[in-house]
Amino acid sequence: MLSVQFINENKERVIEALKIKNFDGKEIINEIISIDQYRKDTQKNLDNSKAQMNTISKEIGQFFKEGKRDDAEVAKRKTADLKEDIKTMEAKLNEVQDHLSKLLTEVPNVPHVSVPAGKSEDDNEQIKAGGQTIKLEGKPLPHWDLAERYDIIDFKMGNKITGAGFPVYKGKGSRLQRALINFFLDEAQKAGFNEVLPPFMVNEDSGFGTGQLPDKEGQMYHVTEDNLYLIPTAEVPVTNIFRDEIVKAEDFPIKYTAYTPCFRREAGSYGKDVRGLNRLHQFDKVEIVCVEHPERSYAMLDEMVAYVEGLVNKLGMQYRIMRLCGGDLSFTSALTYDFEVYSAAQEKWLEVSSVSNFESYQANRMKLRFREEGEKKSQPAHTLNGSALALPRILAALLENNQTPEGIKIPEVLQPYTGFDIIK
C-alpha cells in the first residue's frame, strides 16, 4: 500500500496518477490526510498528558516528603483524571489508526509514468513483437481436439473427478508438462534465480501482504476451518518469505524462482475463450520473484522481461509484448508487461506471462525493508515478479503450432526433458 508520508507529500500527484487507473481518489486521499492529521494531533495530546502525569507523580512524592498532604491529594486527583483521559485517547488513537489502515488498503498503487491511459485490454500498448510467424497448412486442430486425438489430456475425466477446469494429463502429455516445468526451472537457475519449493496454502497475513486480500478474496479457494487459502500464484508464498524482514542492501538483487500448482476460482464464462487449457481452476506455473533496491528496480524489470522473452524465443513461439494500460493494470502493480503467444489453430493471442514492478506497495503491506550499509534507518524495498512461464496456454500453443501430418513435433530445447521428439 502507499505510505501516509508519500500521500501527504504527493497529494496532487497521487490523485492525478490514480486517474490513469480509472480510480477517483480525491475523496479518499483527502480523508486519509485529514485522519492522519487528527491522529498526529491525538498522539501529541496523548504524549503531553503522559508527560504531565509523570511530572505530577514526581511532585506527589515530594509533597509527602514535605508534609504537604493536601497538595499531594489534589495532585493525586489530577493524575486520576489524566489516567482516564489517557485511556480515552489511547482507545481513540487505536480506532483512528485502524480506520486509517483500512483506508490505505483501498487505494491502488500509483502507476508508473509510462503506463498508457485506457479502460480495458483493448487499450494495451504493443511495445514489441517477435518470433517466426506461424503458418499451418490445411485446417489445423485446436489443442482440445489434438488432446483427444493423441490421448494426452483428458478434460472429461477431469470434469468427472473434480469439475470443469481441472484436466487430467496423460502419457506423453504428462511428460511434456513435466518437461516444461523442469526446463523453466533450469533456465531460471542459470539466470541466477534461487529455487525454492514453498507451501501451496498461505495464511491471511500472506494474502494481505502481496495484495490478494482483501482485493481478490472471492477469486481464491478458502479452507474455512483452518482459515488458509490455496495460492493463486507462487508470488504469494515466495514474496512473503520476506514479510517482516529487514534485508541488507548489499544482498540486492534477491532473486527466487519456484514451481507450484496455482488455484483460481475465476475460471470465467463458457465459450471458446475459456475452452480446453485457455482458462483453468488449477494450473502449473514457474514464477520468478525479485526483491530489489528502489533505484534499480526498473532496470531489473527490464532484465526480467528480457529473460521471459528469451524463454518464448527458445520455444519457437510467435509472441508480442504488451504494456498494460491503466484500466487493465492490477490493483497492486505500478507497471506490468504481458507476454502473448499466437495460436495458429485458434487464430488468437494467448496471454502466458505477466511481469510486474510493484515498487514499495507490497513491501509496505509486508513491512519488508532494507538498510544501507552503515545506516541506522531502514526503508521499503521494491518487489517484482513474473510468470516464467504459466503452462496451460504455452502447452496449448505448442500443441497447436507444432502439429504436422506425422504428429506433434517437440521443440528441440524440450527433447532432452521429454525423451521423445514427436507425439504420434
pLDDT in tens, the chain (424 residues): 999 999 999 999 999 999 999 999 999 999 999 999 999 999 999 999 999 988 998 888 888 888 888 888 888 888 888 999 999 999 999 999 999 999 999 999 999 999 999 999 999 999 999 998 988 988 999 999 999 999 999 999 999 999 999 999 999 999 999 999 999 999 999 999 999 999 999 999 999 999 999 877 789 999 999 999 999 999 999 999 999 999 999 999 999 999 999 999 965 545 556 789 999 999 999 999 999 999 999 999 999 999 999 999 999 999 999 999 999 999 999 999 999 999 999 999 999 999 999 999 999 999 999 999 889 999 999 999 999 999 999 999 999 999 999 999 999 999 999 999 999 9
CATH code for the domain defined by 121-423 = 3.30.930.10
pLDDT in tens, 324-338: 999 999 999 999 999
Taking only the tens place, the pLDDT of each residue in 154-174 is: 999 999 999 999 999 999 999
Has 264 been labeled as part of a binding site?
yes
The pTM for the full model equals: 0.93
Sorted by where each begins, the domain ranges of the chain are: 4-105, 121-423
Check the annotation: does 233 bind a ligand: yes
Q: Binding residue per annotation — 353?
A: yes
| CA–CA separation, 320 and 358 (whole Å) | 22
Class of the CATH-defined domain 4-105: mainly alpha
User: Given the C-alpha cell 491503466, which residue does it identify?
Assistant: 326
- Which of 166, 188, 177 has its CA nearest to residue 311? 188
Q: At what angle do helices 69-105 and 26-65 cross, to 10 degrees?
A: 160
β-partners of residue 286 are: 259
The dihedral of CA 326, 331, 337, 343: what is its sign?
negative
* Residue 287 marked in a binding site: yes
14 is in an annotated binding site: no
Q: What's the pLDDT score for residue 272?
A: 56
352 annotated as ligand-binding: yes
Q: Is 206 annotated as a binding residue?
A: no
385 is in an annotated binding site: yes
